[in-house]
Amino acid sequence: MTNSAQRTERLAPIAAGVTVVLWASAFVSIRSAGEAYSPGALALGRLLSGALVLGAILLIRREGLPPRAAWPGITVSGLLWFGLYMVALNWGEQKVDAGTAALVVNIGPILIALLAGWLLGEGLPPRLLAGMGVSFAGAVVVGMSMSGEGGSSVLGVLLCLLAAVAYAAGVVGQKPALRHASALQVTTFGCVAGAAACLPFTGQLLGQIGDAPLSATLNMVYLGVFPTALAFTTWAYALARTTAGRMGATTYAVPALVVVMSWLVLDEVPGGLTLVGGLLCLGGVAVSRSRPRGGGPASSAGPVGAEVPGPPAARRGPSS
């Protein structure tokens, strides 16, 4: 194995881990910012903050515009994942309790595996299916343990389901774009596309930012800089080097981390059932990312343990 391949093998799991931790922290920040900002305004403010940071980094690295072949995937992921997903999730969490929202949105990784197996030819490896089954069971347990913290509605459930579908379709759309453009390019212009889709909420954002407490505005900016700009970039970096199904299964670690962060930051002590569900989520992720014993190298459409090469350096544009 070359030094470059060894470096990629080390960095890809680290990038995925950074993504999962930052996405888990987003749930804590959304709780604060969501009290002062409406769903659309919060999504727009978050995306604008992320787009500014990503745009500055892109200019510093002088990567330029992505190749034409990457734009369909960038547009799909930008409109569905960066735009529709964030608005639908913000709105849905105002209508249903935390447990119901967590349970419905966690349908997303299953949809990613099914869509990637069908549209991207990744297949459905047994270890991936087994791990996702264990993790989904854990998500159900976490959802049951958290239910009752708020009211539920049919509209809220449908919005969370819409968020899960948009998330899955966005991930599957993003994967082909990463064959032609860098993770930074795909994330930056996906974020810009999502922000453009949320521009109708500009009036709400301008009207609410003056009345919002500083803590809520800072949380909105934090959401844009870290769970969006940084975490979506590290996600794209890892996704370019593995399968969409495997990356989707990794996000099942998020509910377990949310439980821990809520415990430490919000002083919300989890019950025994919540801890059991969190451990199941983590156990399922470990199973889905494990490699068969004695398995050799595989293509990107093969076993889920395989690493696939990222986009060629020549296609990434000049960098410093």
Residue 27 has pLDDT above 50, yes or no: yes
Q: Is the pLDDT of residue 306 over 50?
A: no
Is 253 strand, coil or helix?
Answer: helix
Residue-level pLDDT at 301 = 35
Q: Which of 95-99, 173-177, 260-264 shows the lowest per-residue confidence on average (mean pLDDT)?
A: 95-99
Across 55-59, 230-234, 288-292, 315-319, least confident range = 315-319
Q: Given pLDDT bands bounded at 50, 70 and 90, which one contains residue 304? A: very low
What sign does the CA torsion over 13, 14, 19, 20 have? positive
Q: What pLDDT is stored for residue 88 in this prediction?
A: 93
* Strand, helix or coil for residue 302: coil
Across 4-22, average pLDDT? 80
Asked if the model's pLDDT at residue 300 lies above 60, the reply is no
Q: Are 160 and 5 in contact (CB under 8 A)?
A: no
Asked if the model's pLDDT at residue 16 lies above 60, the reply is: yes
Smallest Cα–Cα separation from 203: which of 20, 38, 22?
38
The larger pLDDT score, comparing residue 299 to residue 268, is at: 268
Percent of the chain with pLDDT over 90: 41
Most confident stretch, 24-33, 151-160, 289-298: 24-33
Give the mean model confidence (pLDDT) for residues 123-129.
72
Q: Provide the sign of the torsion angle of the four alpha carbons 122, 125, 130, 131, taken in this order.
A: negative
- Write down the pLDDT at residue 101: 66
Three-state secondary structure string covering 55-96: HHHHHHHCCCCCCHHHHHHHHHHHHHHHHHHHHHHHHHCCCC
**Per-residue H/E/C for 144-200:** HHHCCCCCCCHHHHHHHHHHHHHHHHHHHHHHHHCCCCCHHHHHHHHHHHHHHHCHH
Question: C-alpha 127: how far from its chain's center?
Answer: 22
Q: Is the pLDDT of residue 290 over 80?
A: no
More confident residue, 74 or 3: 74
- CA 257 from centre of chain: 14
Read off the pLDDT of residues 198-217 as tens digits, 9 standing for 90 and up: 999 999 999 999 999 999 99
Residue 303: its pLDDT value, please? 32
221 compared with 29, residue with greater pLDDT = 221
Higher pLDDT, 11 or 128: 11
Most confident of 52-56, 91-95, 102-106, 287-291: 52-56
**Of 35-39, 209-213, 282-286, minimum mean pLDDT range:** 282-286
Q: Token pair of 14, please?
A: 């680290």
The highest-confidence range among 81-95, 220-234, 276-290, 306-320, by mean pLDDT, is: 220-234
Structure-token match 């987003």, residue found: 26
User: Within 10 A of 221 (CB to CB), how many other CB atoms are there?
Assistant: 19
Reported confidence tier of residue 180, pLDDT bands at 50, 70, 90: very high
Mean pLDDT of the chain: 79
Q: How far is CA 191 from the centre of its chain?
A: 13
Contact between 219 and 266 (Cβ < 8 Å)? no
pLDDT attached to residue 219:
94
| Range of lowest pLDDT (25-29, 68-72, 251-255) | 251-255
SS3 106: coil
Q: Higher confidence at residue 287 or residue 194? A: 194
Looking at residue 244, its pLDDT comes to 79
Residues 83, 198 contacting (CB under 8 angstroms): yes
